[in-house]
Structure 1
Amino acid sequence: MDSLPVAPTETPASFLPAHLTEPASRYVEAGLRGAPNTQRAYAGDWRRFTAWCQLHQLAPLPASVDALAGFLTELAEAGKKVATVQRHAAAIAKAHELASAASPTADSKIKVLLKGIAREKKTRIQQAPAFSLASFKRTIRGIDDATLAGLRDRALLLLGFTGAFRRAELAALNIEDLRFDEEGLIINFDQSKTNQTGQADEKAVYYSPELATCPIRSLQAWLRASAPDRTTGAVFVSLRKGQRLTERRLTPEHINLITRRYLGGDYTAHSLRASFVTVAKLNGADDSEIMNQTKHKTSGMIRRYTRLDNVRQHNAGKKLGL
């Protein structure tokens, strides 16, 4: 099976008029499936589980508790990270939900097994590290803006940082999403990980006094060079050899590679977003201000994103007034 099972065609609201039954089922299916990136990850996990079940002559759907326990144990023994094991369990649960079948993940034995795997591995969630503002500025100033690649990469990194973007959001940006004015830049985007219903949403980006590190002027320079006649389509596109432009949208994976190329192998594209939260926090921004840009829903997520590994960085001891 190349994808998760298809959601049931019937809808729980059997009292609906006949002409509403089909669209209601479609909405239920969309609600069950979730974000596209999650769908792709889960589909891969589900293929792995069904192949494992086929090898061991076990039924994948509905799966037994023993089958799932054996599969998860084999993943753990193979050295997979705790988060990877947990994601496979979530994918299997989603497959059963879509098929209206009872999921073995609800069994207390599986919950205990997952807890034991996490405890034995003693694995902390690997988070993308944050960079300091000073080091980021040095990196940006060192980019060669005499080339198309340099113009693009400088604009990409600055926009990713100042807009607290996820890499998938950066990849999805279109020229028509941008609105420049004398105060700065407003970016419209209607779908993200935390906005799956397509509601209108915006991010604000501001001018920087220094030309080389200004996200707006850098983005405008890239657009003048790459899309002087275009008013629609991808903001960030790939280049062929010889600095030749294409109309192919950069993928999230490509954006991750660009970030690593400039910032170093310890960093990922997610470091742009984590660093926005950390730098803003260090400069006195409160959680509501940060959430207005990151679009996080809770302060708890802001705390999770803040990378403060130095006890002196953000400490109320400096504000006692002694």
Structure 2
Amino acid sequence: MQTLSPEVPNWRAEFRRLEGAYAPATIRSYLGDIAAFEAWCAEEGIAPFPAEVDTVCRFIEDQGIEKAPSTVRRRLYAIRKVHRLLQMPDPTHDEEINLSLRRVRRSKAIRPRQAKGLTRDYLDRFRATQPETVIGLRNRAMLSVGYELLTRRSELVALRSDDLEERGDGTFRVLIRRSKADQFGAGRIAFTSTRTAELLRDWLEIRGPEVDWLFCPVYQGKPINRDLSTTTVKRVVKQAAVRAQLDATDVAAFSGHSMRVGAAQDLLKRGFDTAAIMRAGGWKSVNVLARYLEHAEHNVWA
């Protein structure tokens, strides 16, 4: 076993090289993952870098006791990234590590938890629960845009005024610039309905031209020129579910992704095929979309 060395490379400084090449959220995740690896190594009395194959295997299997397989895999990638940045021998491609990762996945062979779909009927109810305030106006527009554009939470809060183009028929053409499946920012185009366009115009009139972000925080009735957190999107959905007097189990099942899930389910019920739904929502994986749609399939022929 490799014992703890007093000389620990300054990997945090090297991580600055990732800025601009990776999303800020990815870099933050890597930093947290490496901090977890360092803390584990300190408890074990092991030098974290350069890591030995046995060290990484033990770390993976120990983390797999409580962490999701996706989290364990991400932490493995973070360890790999540090070794590459520091130009150290990379132990993470060894077959023993692959076997450890497979053990973690097999030990938690459960289906991923799926967010409850915020379908059109829920959308109408959730919009109706919003108060007649500036925040309520923002929330109605945000729920509508999130549903019709099938946005991820991160895509919704990243929208800016410049991403909207009003069309002759009164609707909006919207450029969704970036998502986790579109790391180089090619973006996709989506369109609102006239109903959502009306809600957007009402919100934009109150928000004013001095705010860059499409949806922004509201403090004491006044819009603030900064972006919302993705947590705010989740909170708006949850609070609307509570106001709609839904069962506590249903409230817990809704998330910030529920608008995207529900819209995809509604498109399936309306007869759109998988390819069309994938284009509408910017999906790259059929498997991911299939999980979203499976709860709608039993109603397709109703």
Is TM more than 0.5 here?
Answer: yes
1-structure distance, mates of 2:11, 2:124:
44
Secondary structure at the residue paired with 2:64? helix
The letter for the 2-side match of 1:177 is D
Task: Report the CA distance between 1:30 and its aligned residue.
Answer: 7.0
Which of 234, 253, 256 does residue 269 from structure 1 map onto? 256
Partner of 2:71: 84
Secondary structure at the residue paired with 1:179? strand
2-structure distance, mates of 1:292, 1:193:
15
Total equivalences in the alignment: 283
Partner of 1:125: 112
- Are 2:49 and 1:61 equivalent residues in the alignment? yes
Unpaired runs of 5+ residues, structure 1, are 8-25, 208-213
Which structure exhibits the higher relative contact order, with contacts defined as CA atoms closer than 8 Å and separated by 6 or more residues?
Answer: 2
Which of 129, 135, 149 does residue 149 from structure 1 map onto? 135
1:158-193 Cα offsets, whole Å, 9 max, x none, are 101110111111111111111112332111243322
1:8-66 Cα offsets, whole Å, 9 max, x none, are xxxxxxxxxxxxxxxxxx8xx679x5333222212211111122223333232321112
In structure 2, relative to structure 1, the CA distance for the partners of 1:44 and 1:206 (3 Å cut) is same
Secondary structure at the residue paired with 1:309? helix
- Are 2:268 and 1:281 equivalent residues in the alignment? yes
- Is the deviation greater in 154-163 or in 119-128? 119-128
Identity across aligned pairs (percent)? 27
The alignment's C-alpha RMSD in Å is 2.6
Task: Report the CA distance between 1:142 and its aligned residue.
Answer: 2.4
1:118-162 Cα offsets, whole Å, 9 max, x none, are 222333222322133222222222222x20110011111110111
2-structure distance, mates of 1:312, 1:205:
28
Partner of 2:213: 234
Unpaired runs of 5+ residues, structure 2, are 1-9, 242-250
2-structure distance, mates of 1:253, 1:98:
32
The letter for the 2-side match of 1:233 is D
The letter for the 2-side match of 1:39 is I
In structure 2, relative to structure 1, the CA distance for the partners of 1:54 and 1:298 (3 Å cut) is closer
Partner of 2:38: 50
Partner of 1:217: 198
- Is the deviation greater in 116-125 or in 170-179? 116-125
- Is the deviation greater in 161-170 or in 262-271? 262-271
- Are 2:52 and 1:70 equivalent residues in the alignment? no
2-structure distance, mates of 1:94, 1:63:
12
